Structure 1
């Protein structure tokens, strides 16, 4: 992936634009804007956008935007945040790519607007709260699925965009905790900086370097579909097991056809909806929604062959809107 910024601001409701035109430019300009900044382009964030749409319908007096970027770096997100500050937005929710290197920028944002994190946290920053998954617990959940897939143990490899992100480190931590003391051996964690070509090369190289590899697991939403492709291309479908994270359509198809054992899914719809509505509550002076530890946890669940058909049908409804 090149270094140029791939950026998309997703309009949530066409009706909002029509309403602005009919009520006059002056009134439209008085609307406060709330934005959710992603860390990658994926169906995961499309679903989060559906949650934002629900919030938009409930709060037509606000402009609510989903800003999708493919550049998984602190520098890329810094440009997005600076642009939002220049625009004078009232609240920002962000999935932080590189928390240690983003703290200064996040603190600058938090001093000027309501800032929360979602999906990937930056607890050392001055963000108001985190809304999303307990990623250590979710990692343990994935670890249990790995152990279930390998009752006699075996070598595994993990793949993720960057270990600079809190959610990546915490998921790996949870998996390591779950497999500790077992015959499951983690050979390495491979990163790709959200470069799909590099991710694919990582997977192909692992399949060659470790001919006895027993299982591959992708910890960001785009990873598992690429693993699915790599395993099938190598003629090792069914021989090398796969455990995923998140709900990409190809991941669900892989579970349906038996190529993928299972996947741990989050609830991005709730990430979007709760981000917008709780920022609005805060802007209205209500901070009672913030837990004592500043983490509003949205639970995860496991999707396997037993429940994939129902889950996929519900997901299809969300994505087709």
Structure 2
């Protein structure tokens, strides 16, 4: 037993030399470790985002390691906060995050940055006032959601006439991208002289949007269109229109260009959507993070493409 004592003491000495707190400069392999923290993986858009990120890492396996995770639903803020803390404790060098809420994630991201973690914001922009109040600077890599939504709604405007009644089904009201998409829809509808009779939140979810759309159609018999802030909600709205026997009478537009929407675009149940290239959105953020980590650039905003998609 005595011969084991020096070995135990040596092991303890090695353990005590391990740096405490904050992420290491790289993983044991010498490669930086990047974490992708997304919103709901029940949403096809984020599944596509995750697959795109994994493919990029596989093609650049020598350059970095990747951890991919997301929350159960769009509104589970506590779970997303927990994921950020978990990634910091695991020693990642960068977190690329699509925040579920533009304000609620600022505090935990400030903690992460204080621990030495690089933060890159994608998809849903963090609130500028909340960042300023926290003394936090985080680059946003993502699309102009307002411009994209306006472009989609302009396709719809060509199918309507001034005075026609329309309704908006919003995303989570505290999400910046949801706010911007609503504003884009309003820009195009107001310019075309359409009447927005109501705007309600479907919280990005198909089932909730279905119920809201059904209620809107029942309360507003003259509604000619439903403008949905994502394709999940457009799918729910289309089902409500079909149940109300108004297919072809009520136009629908969405946002995201998910695969599940393509049959509805093909047969005209949905008029248009906006492709923000979900399979590349996380990749844009990851590449921006890697450039900063390698010292080749400083953190900066980067606008990514959006394209209108129709039949």
TM-score scaled by structure 1? 0.79
Rg comparison, structure with higher value: 2
Structure-2 residue corresponding to 1:150? 160
Select 2:86's aligned residue among 83, 86, 106: 83
Residues 34 and 90 in structure 1, CA contact (< 8 A), matched pair in contact too: yes
Are 1:246 and 2:256 an aligned pair?
yes
Cα shift readout 1:67-101 (whole Å, capped 9, x = no counterpart): 12233233232111111112121111111222122
Distance 1:85 1:221, change over 3 A: farther
Distance 1:161 1:70, change over 3 A: farther
SS of residue paired to 2:234:
helix
Structure-1 residue corresponding to 2:48? 47
Residues 36 and 272 in structure 1, CA contact (< 8 A), matched pair in contact too: yes
| Separation in structure 2 between the aligned mates of residue 70 and residue 196 of structure 1, nearest angstrom | 14
| Separation in structure 2 between the aligned mates of residue 144 and residue 283 of structure 1, nearest angstrom | 41
Are 1:190 and 2:200 an aligned pair?
yes
Structure-2 residue corresponding to 1:72? 74
Distance 1:76 1:189, change over 3 A: farther
Residues 225 and 248 in structure 1, CA contact (< 8 A), matched pair in contact too: no
| Separation in structure 1 between the aligned mates of residue 63 and residue 256 of structure 2, nearest angstrom | 33
Are 1:199 and 2:209 an aligned pair?
yes
Structure-2 residue corresponding to 1:308? none
Cα shift readout 1:29-50 (whole Å, capped 9, x = no counterpart): 7653212111222222232223
Count of matched residue pairs: 275
Structure-2 residue corresponding to 1:274? 284
Distance 1:286 1:221, change over 3 A: farther
Are 1:120 and 2:124 an aligned pair?
yes
Give, in angstroms, the shift of residue 28 of structure 1: 5.3
Residues 230 and 255 in structure 2, CA contact (< 8 A), matched pair in contact too: yes
| Separation in structure 2 between the aligned mates of residue 118 and residue 231 of structure 1, nearest angstrom | 33
Structure-1 residue corresponding to 2:150? 140
Comparing 108-117 with 54-63, greater Cα deviation is found at 54-63
SS of residue paired to 1:39:
strand
Comparing 216-225 with 179-188, greater Cα deviation is found at 179-188
Structure 2 segments unaligned to the other structure (5+ residues): 1-26
Comparing 176-185 with 75-84, greater Cα deviation is found at 176-185
Cα RMSD for the two superposed structures: 2.1
Cα shift readout 1:222-248 (whole Å, capped 9, x = no counterpart): 111111211112211101111111112
| Separation in structure 2 between the aligned mates of residue 190 and residue 287 of structure 1, nearest angstrom | 41
Structure-1 residue corresponding to 2:95? 92
Structure-2 residue corresponding to 1:300? 306
Structure 1 segments unaligned to the other structure (5+ residues): 1-26, 306-321
Give, in angstroms, the shift of residue 181 of structure 1: 4.4
Distance 1:193 1:174, change over 3 A: closer
SS of residue paired to 1:139:
helix
Distance 1:33 1:133, change over 3 A: same
Comparing 177-186 with 223-232, greater Cα deviation is found at 177-186
Structure-2 residue corresponding to 1:236? 246
Residues 148 and 308 in structure 2, CA contact (< 8 A), matched pair in contact too: no
SS of residue paired to 1:180:
helix
Structure-1 residue corresponding to 2:36? 36
Give, in angstroms, the shift of residue 296 of structure 1: 0.8
| Separation in structure 2 between the aligned mates of residue 183 and residue 206 of structure 1, nearest angstrom | 20
Give, in angstroms, the shift of residue 214 of structure 1: 0.6
TM-score scaled by structure 2? 0.81
Distance 1:194 1:188, change over 3 A: same
